[in-house]
A and B are shown apart, each in its own frame.
Chain A
Amino acid sequence: MFLLSNFTSHIDMIQTFGDFIELPASQEYLIIGFSPSSVPLKQRWRNNGLSADFMADYLATFFPGNEDDSSTIERQAEIKSAVSYIANELLENAMKFNNETSEYPINIKLQLESDGVLFSVANSISPQGVDKFQAYIQQLLASEPSELYIQQLEKNAVEESCTDSGLGLLTMLTDYSAKIGWKFQTVHKDPEVIAVTTIVQLRV
């Protein structure tokens, strides 16, 4: 299910977790990039939803709705809603956990495949944040997602200080039956810059 390369050194390290795949070559994709330091995060927050809705609208073109067939309209609405939700959550995570001291760009790519949609999001992450994130990924991979979802909500309900709900990735697994994989890669040494790529596979 997942691969751990514990014995590599911290330099030049590549680690993958979960259902990570390299994106297949494609001519049908949409990519949006962000320079991390151009506008403060608070002002940029609304952009996540706008970008996600744009991606969903773009993709809906490939699933045309026929007014004479309500099932095609429903299918289009369902795909739009799912793409909008997932893209927004991925962008919110990328903005939240991005290493603000690095110039490494944030980008989100949406790619159409014959049996579904692939999302790929890349951002840098602080070296201190890596262990915490990987521990969370390990927990996700070792758990039954729908049980972890309830546990997480019950825990969040009694913890006042928690700033991150830890629900975005979980809901992709539980509510959208998505497959998720991650790649961590040291892309620069001195100062150390670690990039994380998150791949989400959604069947449609």
Chain B
Amino acid sequence: MNIIVCVKQVPEISDVRVNPETGSLVREGVASILNPFCEYALDHAVRLKNSVPDVHITAVSMGPPQAKAVLLRALELGADRGVLVSDRRFAGADTWATALTLAAAVRANQPAFDLVLVGKQAIDGDTAQVGPEMAEILGVPQIMYGVEMELMPNGKRLRVRRESETGYQVLESRLPVLVSASKGETIRRLPSFADILAARAKPMDMITADSLDLSEEQLGLQGSYTQVVKIFPPRAQKECRKLEGLTPALACGEIVSFLKQEKFI
């Protein structure tokens, strides 16, 4: 079984800061990490590998050369091979151009894939679009927000428990399929030190746009339908109303009325 896991390097940010002059994210003093949702996706791949024989995991990342660090992390956590898709011509890619590039990289490196796993979104852009777009481009079914995955006994179908707005759904799909991962109950794995050392000996390939079956017009900014015009942090608002001098029952009533009035409930 060939599993592809798409991974992205993101800044470890809990408090987004934007340089007011350049309009870009301030990355000074911010560490780069493997996007946590990608790590959950990888976790599902490793679970499958531990539960059925002959599973091979390829981690694929599109990014600058320093994104090699997150592929190393993926190799430490259980991936068998890393592929870094890196080229200056990818600069400025929006979600569509990114999905197109990643899909082309998947086709070029592992055309006989059975499962593509992605994080439900990256914590920097938060678009949650690349996964679904990739599924469309690759022409495979997609299941979003997966939290549990199980390969059916015939080895040809995958059962996925996915989060929905009202609870959970359990869906089954034939392979190949693309699944995006939510956090669910996942606690991030810790590799052993032996895993960390062994990862350095695993294969890691770097490919450029030349290896992909894409035209120049499909790459980077040129191939993007959207452009980031401006990045700004949301305006922090703190408006509060304090209920005082009320019995608990009356206070509850007030709160419920407020929530109804504001259409929260």
Say whether A and B bind each other.
no
Q: Which residues of B contact A (CB under 8 A)?
A: none
